[in-house]
Structure 1
């Protein structure tokens, strides 16, 4: 049923554990727990309902890996916490009391396993007068930092860091500061940010004219900006490090099914779920790969099984709304009034391989539209049947469905979400994304590494007599087979990966799914490292033209550290340095002398056997030495000293700091584990690597607190659990090495 890696992920994050952190249920127990808890919702509408029959259907659907709900449902269904929703939007009103109420409410949601979206557009701009105090406002960006710090302090349900979306309207007075607020990637690390684009702004861009900035408090114009310049800045920052994304607010509100309840201001952290203030949504995804059957030697989709899975999944998700334990009364009331669900897909790239359809082909676009229309139509049909049995959603009378004479149980039924961890559980490709790598290295135990190959690619290569571990290792290092002449052309044409696909093809695929999606589509448009700002602009223009509700881009290598550990796709600019390093291996390299005077910092880090004090010093040539000292609690000082000496020697011999960090991060020691699974750092070497990495970033800029309150490095390019590079897809950070996902 589950792969070994899926079992590892389930044991690490989802299974019930005792006080020592050991699982006390099996993966099969988990599925029964979830199925039983969700099926119990049937009794709310029929005291004589055959709950056991529903439980069996729900269990079989999950055990067959055909459907999986969002992570909070897997974690919390049938348990005391009982909070089952993944995404929430909270309002942020323009008063100190309301702002800190929102901070508190967000902390409660993060603690329960959910992510939060905020619009900061109601807050007056920095420098605006505050009548109640006689002072001036500090502006949205300053308060985002407060939310960010609160998020960092809360561990989500014992499993995930809190995730946030911050949105600011394009006509807010502080929009220029907001667009650049993540220029320093160590700032506001617990937020994805997006600019809320209006139709008026896009019209001003196209007409090459100014547009108005409006004070949200007085509703008066305060300034005009030249729209093309603002648009160019958004493009520049996205090209620089992937943020901000953009969401088309007017377009989202055009499709708001319950306009009488208010305007949609924000989305969930990955952008695919627009929600009203205080609204939540529960998500789930159907695994297309589990619906494939082989007939006459060729694969095809079993549409009968697809239809039945859709119906069962809508039933499941509607029950989730009923049995959910909501973190706030306001959220319960708003969610029950609309009963939104978001049924989506995963495994799309897998089935394209089996159907022999290249991801970037017109055939793939046609299939995407066909599959999504089939999903939406059958989901709405099931929602209609539930409405006849259980009643329409309470806000139905003012909804667009009332005007059209259509009964519906749920205000929305479809969403394409990033599937992160649940795609690992289902052994499928993530969401509608292309496969990122056909072969890659996965961390399995401590520092042990395992070569993993896409299962169907491995099957085809073996059938054709082409499989070898050496070739798979080469593919892992190259990241693509497009240029490998030892692999037949027909295989290369079909087994394309993310970096083989033109950015325009990414956008057109997103648009194909958006056409039949009630909410929105989470997808990352991947760019090669050498892409220009003009390339990014063309994608933004195309996204607007094709009717997308938002778009997120990522240019390879545009953050401080490389996001995915797949060879030459990422190395273009490093070839010269690598060659020089290789030449140096052939001759003896003596470390340079230690300078008489250095400058640096000392950071105290909590480890399992006490406090470790790490000193990192540098001179005009860069970081040159590391010292460590253990507190009175003991530990292994000789090993720490030996590690420090070797690091210092390597640094003064010219070894790259990032290479040293890569070797240190992720090393584990059992003594760092604390009761309840609270891990500050994984080991002394891991702690040294974290501090080294931070000093390398901050050198020649400023000395600031090196670690967050819990000891974690504010670096969204490395997995906070195993230290391996993160994969950025679907608007979310995912670790293919250990299964960590920021978004669930």
Structure 2
């Protein structure tokens, strides 16, 4: 007995002696005795940022100091957004060194104070390594870190928040208050409204409850007010409702109905752009909406059964609905306006490390952070291209060491961080949620010769994600042995260990295809084995470790070609030049990809030149067809299939603590049934959340399936009869008119010539200086349209194709009949329709003069209110367009069809992107948010 006790005591003493007193840090990138700043060449630059609309200077700081290899764009964004101190004052930061030192020294100081480092030398190495990685754009913390750390402001480091609301007026009003505080700090928040009684339930007073959708109006107005009050980016928020809530149908259809209102008001001439003067009259525009579906509901959908909607307080079923019908309504609303997204409740909670402390009910606005109510998450993202060697190998070992350093820093930040509310502070300090992720996956896959939608591409993405999370949890377990496990671990130890085993088991199931993913998988497997072993002894320091965020502004800071998990947006992009201006270039990933695929320098040069001219790789000289898929992008001539996006998400999801900010792009021709299938497959493939965007779904009026067939058939018959395949030239002398116009400050002239027996026959557009590229393009465009008109292509066909097309210049016009134009072409074809089309055809297109709109309101035409007339007319035009196009394609000469195709622009989600509230530039998609490449502002996280 004594011997046994003595033996145990010896073992305990041995374990105590073996336990590290604190963290030993080894050098990865740096050299002893030499500071990272001394290893780069620095230069002084002038940052002058102008508003594209009027050329006015909206930011200026001259003589800032940056490394020579930082791009102009990254320099501009960091200087204007992250440098602290009043511009022009002595306290204003002038150098990237000051910015990095401000943040890194704060982290290191907190690490020393809280006992993370074994000694001063380890703290110094840690400081140098973090400095090097930030200096060389290896990774970045999320934006709140750069805004706040090391300043006199509250030290807020988190970008993502989840709130909670109960079924009381006090709680609802507190929800409005807490959201406002978070928006004021430039962050986003989400919450689940399902505890609020439905409009079908009674209050204790005997009256009927308002329901959550009603209270959403107040929260939406609050967010809009804070946004318009001068925030650097619009308020980002998420509202979630459970599928068994009695108001679920009202919630599902809320934003789709508002989109109908937006279209009607826009077509009536109101400024309905995001941030436009008239958009405030429309509700629910500041939030992303998501439906939480359960496995019970999805099984009812599969079997064709019904499903119970439950009272919030008693849980009793108060209504039964057809599950297929309800799921169809969800898909139809998403098809119409991209909302709601979908979240898979049981899958989310099956991967929950802390179920004993509460269920996961909601997410942040971009859907990547999912954990307890009243909690927050700070993010950081690695630039994957920094780990790709010249030999095309991904350096898994260095990547793992970088992850260890970053996770350590992220955990240290919770020690000194401030939070907007006490409940959030309490939960975050107890559970220490982190969100490490990455950017540039799309660029990495292309550079290594992988198609985004391929088994090899998914294998590489899966192994990298698994390695990142495995190393994160290994370091978290090591930190638990030094500074202790998170406070909530003991209560949730069994569940946390179960989730760790699930991650490790998923890693073992990865099938590898190439040397790259095989080598990464080997390192990942070792990391998971060690994470399980160390965690079983120490527990873990963090309740969660990883997410895949949109990496908007920080992606630009790191000069990334692609954000988060997204593929490349397009093969050609614009690059800012020193001294102002920009030039169009082929993405630098393309030549690297061609080299990895075995092409010679001469071939690469020819292919790149072809891409620069055409924007795609189809028929590029010397490019083998089997390599086309490597260059598929989110949009363009060869766009990635919707399921390609879903399959990539499914490949990486098992290796993430949280979820993925990702929008599945769908073509305009996608059907409601295809949206429904995407949402269904997301559940089958084990995703936690999913959002879709159908090209132009917020621009064209939704189709009515029942009426579409009939109207389409009628349009086709009429078009075939009217069409003349023989060119009818204009006489030498013909009537004409000239219209001067202004769109968004750009001045021009439209000359329109007619046949003597009426009917438009030619147009000439003067825009830009004579001899300029713009003037030449407009001349060619005018000639193409004129020839098409003379061959008999109806004017209404062109109007249906070009109205509502979005690009700059856009905005206010000097035409009383067309107050707002989304582009010059939008204005021109609306004006031509007003001048040359009869009222009934314009009514089908939703185009009216100012007098006609007024008369409609007064009922002069004996029709329904103007919104109904506009909507029905627009339905007809959208439904007829495919039939008209088909008729043209089957009967027109080949060259006419080709020119029509060349004029078509596939803008997709980018077409609906808002204008940046900071600089006025058109934003672009970044995950499920939007990003301004001009100044770095985002509509969501990081």
TM-score bin (small chain): 0.7 to 0.9
Q: 2:650 aligns with which of 489, 511, 516?
A: 511
User: Does the 8 Å contact 2:176/2:222 carry over to 1?
Assistant: yes
Does 2:345 align with 1:345?
no
Structure 1 match to 2:220: 148
1:243-281 deviation digits (Å, cap 9, x = unpaired): 111001122112221112111110000111112111001
Does 2:867 align with 1:701?
yes
Q: 2:555 aligns with which of 423, 428, 431?
A: 423
Structure 1 position 402, deviation (Å)? 7.2
Structure 2 match to 1:15: 83
Q: Structure 1 pair 442/299, CA: closer, same or farther in 2 (3 Å)?
A: closer
Q: 1:730 aligns with which of 927, 931, 937?
A: 927
SS at match of 2:490: helix
Length-normalised TM-score, structure 2: 0.62
User: Does the 8 Å contact 1:103/1:150 carry over to 2?
Assistant: yes
- 1:448-527 to 2 correspondences below 5 Å: 448-458=581-591, 464=603, 466=605, 471-476=610-615, 480-482=616-618, 484=620, 487=623, 489=625, 492-499=628-635, 500-527=639-666
Q: What do you get for the CA RMSD once the two structures are aligned? A: 3.9
User: Does the 8 Å contact 1:439/1:475 carry over to 2?
Assistant: no
1:456-479 deviation digits (Å, cap 9, x = unpaired): 225667763536997455344xxx
Length-normalised TM-score, structure 1: 0.78
Structure 1 position 227, deviation (Å)? 0.5
Does 2:939 align with 1:742?
yes
SS at match of 2:255: coil
What is the distance in 1 between the residues matched to 2:799 and 2:438? 48
Structure 2 match to 1:254: 350
What is the distance in 2 between the residues matched to 1:367 and 1:131? 57
User: Does the 8 Å contact 2:440/2:563 carry over to 1?
Assistant: yes
Does 2:668 align with 1:529?
yes
User: Does the 8 Å contact 1:242/1:554 carry over to 2?
Assistant: yes
User: Does the 8 Å contact 1:117/1:267 carry over to 2?
Assistant: yes
Structure 1 position 128, deviation (Å)? 3.0
Q: 1:38 aligns with which of 94, 99, 107?
A: 107
SS at match of 2:79: helix
Higher mean C-alpha displacement, 521-530 vs 447-456: 447-456
Structure 1 position 45, deviation (Å)? 2.1
Q: 1:662 aligns with which of 804, 808, 815?
A: 808
Q: 2:174 aligns with which of 91, 95, 101?
A: 101
Q: Structure 1 pair 467/69, CA: closer, same or farther in 2 (3 Å)?
A: farther
What is the distance in 2 between the residues matched to 1:220 and 1:538? 31
Larger CA Rg, structure 1 vs 2 = 2
1:45-96 deviation digits (Å, cap 9, x = unpaired): 2298534433222111211211111111122211222211010011111111
What is the distance in 1 between the residues matched to 2:246 and 2:158? 34
Higher mean C-alpha displacement, 89-98 vs 182-191: 182-191
Higher helix share: 2
Q: Structure 1 pair 532/654, CA: closer, same or farther in 2 (3 Å)?
A: closer
Structure 1 match to 2:93: 24
Q: Structure 1 pair 460/30, CA: closer, same or farther in 2 (3 Å)?
A: same
1:485-504 deviation digits (Å, cap 9, x = unpaired): 67554653422212422222
SS at match of 1:464: helix
What is the distance in 2 between the residues matched to 1:416 and 1:148? 26
User: Does the 8 Å contact 1:112/1:157 carry over to 2?
Assistant: no
Structure 1 position 585, deviation (Å)? 14
Higher mean C-alpha displacement, 101-110 vs 516-525: 516-525
- 1:296-311 to 2 correspondences below 5 Å: 298-311=391-404
Does 2:424 align with 1:331?
yes
Q: 1:179 aligns with which of 224, 227, 252?
A: 252
1:510-557 deviation digits (Å, cap 9, x = unpaired): 011001111112222111221122222222222111111111111122
Structure 1: gaps spanning 5 or more residues: 563-575, 595-652, 668-686, 703-714
1:603-652 deviation digits (Å, cap 9, x = unpaired): xxxxxxxxxxxxxxxxxxxxxxxxxxxxxxxxxxxxxxxxxxxxxxxxxx
Structure 1 position 29, deviation (Å)? 2.2
User: Does the 8 Å contact 1:666/1:723 carry over to 2?
Assistant: no
Q: 2:368 aligns with which of 272, 275, 282?
A: 272
Q: Structure 1 pair 322/223, CA: closer, same or farther in 2 (3 Å)?
A: same
Structure 1 position 732, deviation (Å)? 1.3
Structure 1 position 114, deviation (Å)? 1.4
What is the distance in 2 between the residues matched to 1:154 and 1:584? 58
Q: 1:434 aligns with which of 545, 567, 570?
A: 567
Structure 2 match to 1:2: 70
Q: Structure 1 pair 481/400, CA: closer, same or farther in 2 (3 Å)?
A: farther
User: Does the 8 Å contact 1:734/1:740 carry over to 2?
Assistant: yes
SS at match of 1:590: strand
Structure 1 match to 2:873: none
Q: 2:546 aligns with which of 396, 409, 414?
A: 414
Structure 2: gaps spanning 5 or more residues: 1-68, 263-282, 498-535, 595-600, 702-718, 742-797, 814-818, 831-845, 854-865, 869-910
SS at match of 1:498: coil
Does 2:422 align with 1:367?
no
Structure 2 match to 1:70: 142
What is the distance in 2 between the residues matched to 1:697 and 1:29? 56
What is the distance in 2 between the residues matched to 1:688 and 1:556? 22
SS at match of 1:150: helix
1:171-202 deviation digits (Å, cap 9, x = unpaired): 00110011111112453121111100011110
Structure 1 position 37, deviation (Å)? 1.8
Does 2:220 align with 1:220?
no
Q: Structure 1 pair 691/261, CA: closer, same or farther in 2 (3 Å)?
A: farther
1:8-31 deviation digits (Å, cap 9, x = unpaired): 222232222416799633333222
What is the distance in 1 between the residues matched to 2:617 and 2:353? 45
Q: Structure 1 pair 541/657, CA: closer, same or farther in 2 (3 Å)?
A: closer
Q: How many residues align?
A: 636
Higher mean C-alpha displacement, 388-397 vs 90-99: 90-99
- 1:188-203 to 2 correspondences below 5 Å: 188-203=284-299
Higher mean C-alpha displacement, 481-490 vs 413-422: 481-490
Structure 2 match to 1:389: 482
Structure 1 position 387, deviation (Å)? 0.5
SS at match of 1:79: coil
Structure 1 match to 2:884: none
Structure 1 match to 2:687: 548
